[in-house]
Amino acid sequence: MSTTVKSSPAIALQQVPNAKGRGKEKGGRRLAALFLAPTIIGITIFTLVPIVASLTLAFFRWDIISTPEFVGVDNFVSIGADPTIRRAFLNTIGFVAVAVSLQLTVSIGLAVLIQSKMPSWLRTFFRSAFFFPLVLSAASVSIIMSYLFNQNFGLVNQIIGLVGIPAVPWLTSQAGAMVVIILVYVWQNFGFTFLLIIGGLSSIPVEMYEASSIDGATGWKQFKNITLPLLSPTLLVASVMAIISALQIFDQPYVITRGGPGDSTRTAVMVIYETAFKQLDFGRAFAIGIVLTLLIMLVTAVQFRLSRRFVHYN
Amino acid sequence: MSDVSRRLALSLLGVGAVGAVGASWPRLTGADIPGRGSESLNVAILGNAQDAASRVNLVKAFSAANPNIKVRIQAIQGADWGDFFAKILTMVAAGTSPDVVLVATEGAQLFAERLAEPLDAFVQRDQQEIQDYFDDVHPSLIEAFMYQGSLFQLPMDFNSANMYMNTGAFEKAGLARPGDHWTHDDFYNSLTAMKKTGGKQFVPYYWTNRLFGGVVPWLYVNDTSFLKETRSTGGSWFWDKFYANDPTRGMRSGGYQWLEPNAEDPRVAESFEFLRTLVAEGLGTSPAQGGGNELVAQFASGLIGTTPAGGYWVEGLHEAGMAEDAFDVQFFPKWRTQRHQFGAAGYAIMKTSTRKDEAWEWIKFCATKEAMELAMPLPTTTPTRRSMVNEALYAGKGPAHWKVFYDTLDEFPSSGPIPAPPQQAAVESALIKNVLGAVTGSAANIKPAMSTLQRDLELALRRN
C-alpha cells in the first residue's frame, strides 16, 4: 500500500505530461486535418472526381445534353482510325521535340551569359525581361503575333522586305505556320526554364571553375565538364516540366492558325477541345485525353529512366 | 461550471466577430448564377459586358411594356458563334440554361434539333400582333430559321456577302463602279487593273477562310455548294398564313437541309480553281485560318481593293476613319447565277425554359420596330425590317449604294443561308481546314483537296 501511495505521485508525474502530449498530438492532428481539408476537398472535387468521371465516360457516347450511351472501347478504337487525330498527335510530338530543345538551349545560353560578368542592375533587368512574357496572356500574345506574321501587312514581312527578302507566307504555309507557333511558344515560355537554370548555375561552387582554370580549362571545356554535369539535376526538372507543358499546347495554335493550314498545326489538346465542343462527342474527347495522359506519363517515365545515366547529383 | 480562460474568451469573441461580419457581408450565392435565380428571364447573347450594357434601353423599354417580367441580359464571350454555342451547351449540362438565346444561322439547326422550342403555336396565337413584323421582313430570312416545317426563331438582323470596294483604288485603276450584274470575269479584270496601279503592299482582293464570306459565296454564284442543299417539306401552315401574297411564296419550304457532302461536284472544283488563280496571280490573299482581325483597319487604310462583307462593316469603317465616299458596295459578281449567301440571327426559346410565355413576350417585343431601333441604332449590322434599312441609318457614313444590302434579297430571292446543318461546327472545321491546301499551290492540288474535304464532311455529317 505504502509502495502504491509512494509511487503514485511519481507515476502521476510521469503520466500527466504523456496525457497532455497525447492530447496535444491529437489536437495537432485535428488542426492539421482542418488546414488540409480545403485542399483535400478541392482536389477531390476538381481533380479526382473529373479524373474518375473522364475515365468512366471515355467508354460512353455522350453529347453533354443527352443520356450517355455505353459503347465499350469504340472511342479508343476510333482514335487510331481518325487521320486528323493521328496527325494532331504527330504534330504535338514534333512540336515538343523542337520547341523543348530550343527552349532549353536558349535558356541555358542566356542563363550562362547572364551569369557572366555584368553590372548587377543589368543582370536584374535581363532576368525580368526574359521572365516577363510568361506573365502575359497567351491569347493576347497570340493575337498580336498573328498581326505581326500576317503575310500581306505584318511587320515581320515588312522588315525582312527591307533587305529584299520576299514576303514569307508565315501563317498560310504548313512549315511557316509551325515555325511561328514554335517561336511564339518558346518566346513566351523560356523565362521559367531560364529562371530554373539561373538557380542551378548559382549553386555550382565557384571553386570548381577556379580549380579548373588552374588546370588550364576555360570556356567550352568548363561548360562541358563542370557546368553541364552539375546543372544536370536542374536540367532534368526543367526538361520534365517543359515537355509536360509543351505536350499540352493549345492557346497559340488555336488563336493564331486554328490548327491550319490543313491540320499542320493541330495539336492533341486542340482535337480534345474540338471533339468535345465542336463535334459534341465528349466520350471520344475523354478517350483522347486519356491517351494524351498516358503519353505524358510514358515520356516522363522515360526521362527519369534516362536520367540515371545523364544526371549527376554529386 | 468550468472556468473559461481569458485566451479562450478572446478567441471565441474573435471567431464570433469574424463570423458576424462574414454572415452579413453581401456575397454571391448559388442563386446568383444566371439560370438558377427564378426571378428573371435570362437572355444569353454573344458578346461582352459592353454588349449587354448596350441593350439597357431595350430592356428598359421592354420592362415598361411588361412590368411583370424582369429581364437579365447575359453576355457570353466567344471567339465565334461556335464557341458561344459550346458555352450554351455547357450551361445546359450544368442545369443553368438561359431562357432565351440569340442564335445565328450557324447554330439555328443545332438549336432547332436539340435545344429550342418551336414558335409555331406562339406565332399562330398572336398573328395579329406579329403580322406587322412579317410584312416588313423578307421571307428568305424567315425560311432560314425554319426546320422540318417548324419556325424556331424570328430573325432580327442579317448580313449578305456583298462586295465592298475601295473607290479610291477603283478610280486610280480607271475603273467605274461595276454594274449590278457584273460577272466573275469582270471582277477578275477589275482586280488585274487595280494590281497594276495599287502599289507594293496593295491587295486587290482580301478574303478570309471561314464559312461566311470565304469560299461559299463563290460556290453559290456558281450554282453549287460544298454540301448538297435540299428543302424540307411542311411549313405551308406558316407561309399560307403570313406570306400568302408574297410573290416568292411558291419557292418557300419547311426549311433547308444539308444531309450529304458535295465537295466532289465539278463546279465546286471550278470555284476553287478560280480562287486559286486569284491567289497564284497575286490578285487575292492566301486566306489564313482564324484571320481577318486586321481587315477593317487595312481596308480603311486603302490597302485592300475589294472584300466580301455585309452591312455590319459600315460602322467599323466609319469608326476607322473611312469617309463615306471612300468605299462603296455592290452585289457579289455573277457566275452561273447571282445567288448570294447570307447569315442572320434571332432569339430562340430554350426547351428547358420554364418561362416560355415570358420568353415569347420578349421575342415578340424585340421584333417590333421600336425595339429593333433601340437594339440597332447604328449600322453594325443590317436590320431584318426592310423599313429600317433607310437613308437615315447610313447618313454621313456611307456607302452611297446602301440599298444593295436589302436589295440583295429582293433581286435574288433564291439567296440562301450559310450551309449550317446541326453538325455545323464540325462541318465548318472540315471546310476551312481544306480550303488553303486547295487554293495555294498548283491546280493539281484541287482534286485531292476536294476528296479530303468530301471525306472530312462525311465524317462530320455522320456525327449527331
> The domain spanning residue A165 has which CATH number?
1.10.3720.10
Are residue A43 and residue A107 in the same domain, yes or no?
A: no
Cβ-based neighbours of A30, under 8 Å, separated by 6 or more: none
The distance from CA B12 to its chain's CA centroid, rounded to whole angstroms, is: 60
Provide the residue type at B262 as one letter: N
Domain end among A12, A31, A57 = A57
Contacts of A278 in chain B (CB under 8 A): 82, 86, 425-426, 429
Query: Do the domain assignments include residue B415?
Result: no
Assess if residue A100 is contained within a domain. yes
3-state secondary structure of A31: helix
One domain, residues A53 and A90:
no
Q: Would residue B3 count as lying in a domain?
A: no
Digits of tens for pLDDT over chain A (314 positions)? 334 444 444 444 455 556 667 777 888 888 999 999 999 999 999 999 999 999 999 999 998 888 999 999 999 999 988 889 999 999 999 999 999 999 999 999 999 999 887 888 999 999 999 999 999 999 999 999 998 998 888 899 999 999 999 989 999 888 999 999 999 999 999 999 999 999 999 999 988 888 988 888 888 888 888 999 999 999 999 999 999 999 999 999 999 998 988 899 999 999 999 999 888 899 999 999 999 999 999 999 999 999 888 887 76
Provide residues of B within 8 Å CB-CB of chain A: 79, 82-83, 86, 89-90, 92-93, 114-115, 201, 203, 206, 209, 285-291, 293-294, 298, 303, 423, 425-426, 429, 432-434, 436-437, 440, 456, 459-460, 463-464
- Give yes or no for A171 touching B (CB within 8 A): yes
- Please give the mean pLDDT across all residues of chain B: 92
Characterize the bridge pairing of strands B150-151 and B227-231: unpaired
Q: A61: helix, coil or strand?
A: strand
Which chain A residues touch B289 with a CB distance below 8 Å?
A: 171, 257-261
**B325: its cell numbers:** 465616299
**A181 and chain B in contact, CB less than 8 A:** no
Q: Are residues A43 and A90 in the same domain?
A: no
List of chain B residues whose C-beta atoms are within 8 Å of the C-beta of residue A266: 433
For residues B456 and B324, membership in a common domain is answered with yes
Q: Is A70 in a helix, a strand, or coil?
A: strand
CB contact under 8 A, B289 and A257: yes
Residues 6+ positions from A204 with CB-CB distance below 8 Å: A226, A227, A230, A231
**Which site among B289, B431, B434, B459 would you substitute to test the A interface, given the most A Cβ atoms closer than 10 Å to its Cβ?**
B289
CB-based contact (8 Å) between A251 and chain B?
A: no
Residues B132 and B190 in one domain: no
B173 within 8 A of B138, measured Cβ to Cβ: no
Report the percent of chain B where pLDDT is more than 70. Answer: 95
pLDDT of residue B37: 59
B334 and B367, same structural domain? no
Coil vs helix vs strand at A58? coil
pLDDT for the residue A28:
86
| Same domain as A115, residue A22 | no
- Tell me the pLDDT tens digit for each residue of B283-295: 999 886 555 567 8
| Interchain proximity A278–B429, CB inside 8 Å | yes
pLDDT the model gives residue B59: 95
**CATH code of the domain containing B387:** 3.40.190.10
Interface test with B, best of A64, A158, A172, A181 (most B CBs within 10 A): A172
Q: Look at residue B359 and tell me if it is in a domain.
A: yes
B437: nearest CB among A146, A262, A279: A262
Are A50 and A79 in a shared domain?
A: no
Does one domain contain both B175 and B304?
Answer: yes
The alpha carbon of residue B337 is apart from the nearest alpha carbon of chain A, in Å, by 30
Q: State the pLDDT at residue A111.
A: 94
Q: Verify whether the Cβ–Cβ distance B291 to A171 is below 8 Å.
A: yes
Residue B429 with chain A: CB contacts under 8 Å: 274, 278
B181 with B310, same domain: the answer is yes
Residue B143's domain spans which residues?
A: 36-159+343-392
Residue B92 has which C-alpha cell?
445546359
**pLDDT for the residue numbered A7:** 45
Q: Quick one: B44 and B175 in the same domain?
A: no
Could B436 and A280 be called an inter-chain contact, meaning their C-beta atoms sit closer than 8 Å? no
Specify whether A181 is located in the same domain as A236. Answer: yes
Total domains present in chain A = 2
**Residue B52 in domain:** yes
Q: Which of A65, A147, A172 sits opposite B89 (nearest CB)?
A: A65
Q: Kindly determine whether residue A65 and residue B434, on different chains, have CB atoms separated by under 8 Å.
A: no
* B356-to-A214, B243, B350, B386 alpha-carbon distances in Å: 87, 25, 8, 28
Confirm or reject contact between A280 and chain B (CB < 8 A).
Answer: yes
pLDDT band for position B36 (cuts 50, 70, 90): low
Does some domain include residue B210?
Answer: yes
Has residue A216 been placed in a domain? yes
Nearest CA distance, A241 vs chain B (angstrom): 29
A36 and A113 together in one domain: no
Give the pLDDT confidence score for residue A10 in this predicted structure: 47
* Confidence at residue B200, expressed as pLDDT on a 0 to 100 scale: 84
Decide: B306 and B190 in contact? Cβ < 8 Å.
Answer: yes
B353 vs B369: CA distance, rounded Å: 26
What are the CA-CA distances from residue A240 to residues A193, A197, A218, B232, B446 (Å)? 10, 13, 30, 56, 43
End-to-end CA distance of chain A: 65
Same domain, A112 and A222: yes
Closest approach of B441 to chain A, Cα-based (Å): 10
d(CA B348, CA B110): 11
Which residues in chain A are closer than 8 Å to B434, comparing Cβ atoms? 262
Query: Do both B350 and B437 map to the same domain?
Result: no
Is position A16 within any domain? yes
Does residue A279 sit at the B interface (CB-CB below 8 Å)? yes
pLDDT digits over B367-378, tens only?
999 999 999 999
**Which residue on chain A is closest to B95 by alpha carbon?**
A65
pLDDT tier, B305 (very low <50, low <70, confident <90, very high otherwise): very high
* A248 lies in the same domain as A102: yes
Q: Which residue has the higher pLDDT, B10 or B130?
A: B130
Based on the fold, state whether residues A151 and A282 are members of the same structural domain.
Answer: yes
Q: Does A258 touch chain B (CB under 8 A)?
A: yes
Cβ contacts of A255 on chain B, cutoff 8 Å: 79, 290
CA distances from residue B138 to B8, B81, B246, B311, B344 in whole angstroms, order as listed? 77, 24, 9, 16, 12
- In this structure, is residue A66 part of a structural domain? no
CB atoms under 10 Å from CB of B402, counted, come to 23
Are the beta carbons of A255 and B290 separated by less than 8 Å?
Answer: yes
- Rounded-to-integer distance, Cα A55 and Cα B368, Å: 50
SS (H, E, C) chain B: CCCCCHHHHHHHHHHHHHHHHHHHCCCCCHHHCCCCCCCEEEEEEECCHHHHHCCHHHHHHHHHHCCCCEEEEEEECCCCHHHHHHHHHHHHHCCCCCCEEEEEHHHHHHHHHHHEECCHHHHHHCHHHHHHHHHHECHHHHHCCEECCEECCEEEEEEECEEEEEHHHHHHCCCCCCCCCCEHHHHHHHHHHHHHHHCCCCEEECCCECCCCCCHHHHHCCCCCCEEEEECCCCHHHHHHHCCCCCCHHHCCCCEEEEEECCCCHHHHHHHHHHHHHHHCCCECCCCECCCCCHHHHHHCCCEEEEEECCCHHHHHHHCCCCCCCEEEECCCECCCCCCEEEEEEEEEECCCCCHHHHHHHHHHHCCHHHHHHHCCCCCCEECEHHHCCHHHHCCCCCCCCCHHHHHHHHCCCCEECCCCCCHHHHHHHHHHHHHHHHCCCHHHHHHHHHHHHHHHHHHHHCC
Q: Are residues B94 and B200 in the same domain?
A: no
How many contacts does A have with B, using Cβ atoms within 8 A?
94
**What domain count does chain B have?**
2
Q: What is the pLDDT of residue B31?
A: 58
More confident: B17 or B76: B76
Does A68 fall in a domain?
no
- A63 within some domain: no
pLDDT band at B2 (very low <50, low <70, confident <90, very high): low
Q: Are residues A37 and A155 in the same domain?
A: no
Q: Quick one: B152 and B170 in the same domain?
A: no
Query: With contacts defined as CB-CB under 8 Å, which chain A residues touch B286?
Result: 151, 169, 172
Q: Which residue of B has its CA nearest to A66?
A: B93
Identify whether B237 is part of a domain.
no
B454 and B308 both lie in a single domain: yes
Report the alpha-carbon distance of residue A261 to residue A175 in Å, rounded.
Answer: 9
pLDDT recorded at residue A19: 67
Enclosing domain of residue A48: 2-57
Longest dimension (CA), chain B: 104
Q: Is residue B268 part of a domain?
A: yes
Q: Which amino acid is at B17?
A: A
Q: Does the beta-carbon distance from A150 to B291 stay under 8 Å?
A: yes
Put simply, the answer to whether B426 touches A277 (Cβ < 8 Å) is: no
Cβ neighbours of A151 in B, within 8 Å:
285-286, 288
Alpha helices in chain A (DSSP H): 2-43, 49-57, 74-81, 83-115, 120-131, 138-148, 155-162, 174-202, 206-214, 219-222, 228-247, 251-256, 268-273, 282-310
Q: Which residue has the cell 506519363?
A: A297
Instruction: Quick: pLDDT tens for B168-206.
Output: 999 999 999 999 999 999 999 999 999 999 988 899 999
Q: Are residues B430 and B350 in the same domain?
A: no
